[in-house]
């Protein structure tokens, strides 16, 4: 026995201590053996992108930005507490926004892991490395920019090592966002969208996001330049340079008609939907959906079977209806009902802007929509204005037209066109555009104080040009062009600050007509004091504060009891 023991010991000693202590796992993928090459890194990058899909829910910034704006009420049922409390700036539970917090920080962790691993991978093509790094930097910047819009100061984690740290200063957070975006711009190639993968970050998306981030930071925090972590800054002139580069070289542009951006003009629906079937674009062409990944989509979220569903459409869809009665719309939760005061203001501010107004708003009481049997109080409806977001909905097409109109058969247009299983008939897999070219043109006008690019957006809607730039005209233009795209509230916050933003929202929302379980009523909630108390930011999830053992502090105005004041 002793003989064999000594032989084993001799073998162990002969391989050396360093080899003996190696614990590389050759059977499973792990941090020790993954990623090893560019293909592995691209797989890991997919996991970072997954953070975008996971956050398109009732508590994502896109939806919250509409619910807390002056353009929408909360809608839904009397028990949809979270939506109502977003709208009224109250707290239905201590962790209302935890899902987006968890999803974004999980994605940031994956981004950090990939950025650390990429430096250790032997790339055979340096362009692959730059592409992966560029997209990863963009995504980390995007997630932090959304977190900072929701919460203000947040913990800044740029390493994958576990850390329990307090919220970082706003200059640190934006300094990292700006540095990541600069790194993305420097790494990503100057290719036009046709040669890039739709849904992937591009140099142009990074330049556009730099503009959006600069406008919010400089507006809300009253700063002239974006700081850069490690020193230096990004000036307004540099931001304008990025936007100029995008406009001149990206290949992005405006689609020929505003309505062709939205899926209700898809080829199966457009011919039967009364609003679209005989309509013509400004250039005289029949309406036809530009489709996913069109030239106006600077950055979007891809959805599809096995990838995820566009729940924004489900969230804002018509509540408690049957399909053929409200063709071409599918049903949804009926939240984010549109403030009727917005329609009145829009018609006063821009009476000829019918393409964008009725291309964005579904008024079920208007005959042009062709809705013949809308059921009031579907599923116990409150704040029911009978005005819905037309940009984000689930759309149907006819599969048969036998007999009376009420007996015609319908189906989700994507079930027919894309072969989506019928079990997903009330789901939408249409991509969600997060940044579009019209927004870029309006950012340029705002940054430069010029009207050329704002007038391009207006011309597409069939409107006469503006001769002299004013911030007030720009503000109205953004409200009309970008309605219900999650931007309105954050525009108000950066232009006017939390004190005045609350007053504007209250003035614009008060007295709006609605039905509460069939009973006529008027909107009467006041948010001015809450926005002053909170600075316009959401509550930090209490679970995160508890997990940090108090290292993480709550935002002002959200301490226990304060949200009821």
HEC per residue, 47-103: HHHHHHHHCCCCCCHHHHHHHCCCCECCECCCCCHHHHHHHHCCCCCCCCCHHHHHH
- The predicted pLDDT at position 34 comes to 80
Whole-model pTM: value is 0.93
Domains of the chain plus CATH, in order, are 43-236 (1.25.40.390), 258-524 (no CATH)
What tokens appear for 94 in the block? 């201590």
Q: Which helix (H) or strand (E) holds 514?
A: strand 513-516
Q: One digit per residue, pLDDT tens: the chain, 565 residues?
A: 333 333 333 333 333 333 333 334 444 566 666 888 999 999 999 999 999 986 666 678 899 999 999 999 999 999 999 999 999 999 988 999 999 999 999 999 999 999 999 988 989 999 999 999 999 999 999 999 999 999 999 999 999 999 999 999 999 999 999 999 999 999 999 988 766 667 899 999 999 999 999 999 999 999 999 999 999 999 999 999 999 999 999 999 999 999 999 999 999 999 999 999 999 998 899 999 999 999 999 999 998 876 788 999 999 999 999 877 899 999 899 999 999 999 999 999 999 999 999 999 999 999 999 998 899 999 999 999 999 999 999 999 999 999 887 788 999 999 999 988 888 788 899 999 999 999 999 999 999 999 999 999 999 999 999 999 999 999 999 999 999 999 999 999 999 999 999 999 999 999 999 999 999 999 999 999 999 999 999 999 999 999 999 999 999 999 865 555 4
- The predicted pLDDT at position 416 comes to 94
Give how far the C-alpha of residue 450 lies from the chain's centroid of Cα atoms, to the nearest Å.
Answer: 27
What tokens appear for 403 in the block? 């007999």
What tokens appear for 169 in the block? 């200063």
Q: What letters, b where the CB count within 10 A reaches 16 and e where it falls short, cover 323-357?
A: bbbbbbbbbbbbbbbbbbbbbebbeeebeebebbb
Beta strands in 137-275 (DSSP E): 226-227, 233-234
Burial of 273 (C-beta count, 10 Å sphere; 0-12/13-18/19+) = buried
Q: Which helix (H) or strand (E) holds 43?
A: helix 38-54
């Amino acid at each position: 026995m002793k003989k064999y023991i000594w032989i084993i010991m001799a073998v162990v000693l002969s391989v050396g201590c360093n080899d003996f202590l190696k614990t590389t796992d050759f059977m499973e993928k792990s941090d020790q053996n993954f990623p090893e090459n560019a293909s592995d890194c691209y797989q890991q990058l997919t996991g970072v992108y997954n953070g975008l899909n996971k956050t398109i829910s009732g508590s994502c910034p896109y939806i919250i930005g509409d619910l807390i704006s002056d353009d929408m009420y909360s809608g839904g049922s009397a028990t949809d507490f979270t939506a109502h409390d977003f709208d009224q700036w109250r707290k239905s539970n201590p962790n209302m926004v935890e899902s987006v917090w968890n999803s974004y920080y999980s994605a940031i962790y994956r981004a950090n892991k990939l950025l650390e691993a990429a430096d250790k991978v032997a790339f055979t093509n340096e362009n692959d490395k730059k592409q992966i790094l560029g997209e990863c930097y963009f995504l980390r910047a995007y997630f932090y920019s959304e977190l900072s819009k929701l919460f203000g100061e947040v913990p800044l984690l740029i390493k994958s090592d576990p850390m329990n740290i307090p919220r970082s200063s706003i200059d640190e957070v934006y300094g990292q966002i700006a540095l990541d975006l600069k790194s993305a711009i420097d790494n990503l190639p100057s290719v036009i969208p046709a040669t890039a993968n739709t849904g992937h970050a591009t140099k142009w998306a990074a330049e556009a996001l730099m503009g959006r981030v600069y406008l919010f930071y400089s507006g809300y925090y009253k700063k002239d330049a974006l700081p850069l972590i490690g020193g230096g800054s990004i000036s307004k002139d540099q931001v304008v340079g990025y936007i100029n580069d995008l406009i001149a070289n990206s290949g992005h542009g405006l689609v020929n008609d505003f309505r062709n951006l939205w899926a209700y003009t898809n080829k199966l629906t457009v011919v039967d939907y009364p609003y679209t079937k005989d309509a013509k674009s400004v250039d005289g062409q029949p309406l036809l959906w530009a489709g996913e990944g069109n030239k106006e989509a600077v950055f979007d979220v891809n959805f599809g079977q096995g990838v995820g569903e566009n729940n924004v459409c489900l969230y804002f869809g018509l509540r408690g209806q049957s399909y053929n009665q409200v063709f071409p719309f599918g049903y949804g939760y009926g939240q984010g009902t549109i403030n009727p005061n917005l329609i009145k203001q829009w018609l006063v501010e821009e009476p000829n802007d019918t393409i964008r107004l009725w291309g964005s708003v579904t008024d079920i009481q208007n005959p042009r929509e062709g809705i013949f049997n809308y059921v009031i109080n579907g599923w116990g409806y409150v704040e029911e204005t009978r005005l819905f977001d037309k940009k984000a909905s689930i759309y149907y097409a006819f599969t048969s037209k036998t007999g009376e109109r009420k007996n015609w058969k319908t189906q989700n247009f994507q079930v027919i066109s894309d072969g989506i299983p019928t079990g997903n008939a009330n789901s939408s897999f249409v991509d969600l555009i997060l940044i579009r070219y019209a927004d870029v043109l309006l950012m340029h006008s705002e940054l430069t104080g010029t009207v050329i690019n704002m007038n391009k957006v207006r011309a597409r809607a069939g409107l006469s040009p503006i001769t002299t730039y004013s911030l007030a005209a720009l503000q109205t233009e953004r409200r009309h062009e970008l309605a219900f795209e999650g931007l309105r509230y954050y525009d108000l916050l950066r232009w006017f600050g939390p004190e005045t933003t609350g007053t504007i929202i209250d003035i614009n929302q008060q007295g709006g007509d609605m039905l509460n379980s069939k009973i006529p009523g008027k909107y009467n909630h006041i948010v001015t004091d809450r926005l002053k108390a909170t600075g316009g930011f959401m509550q930090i999830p209490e679970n995160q504060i508890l997990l940090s053992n108090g290292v993480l502090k709550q935002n002002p105005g959200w301490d226990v009891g304060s949200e009821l004041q």
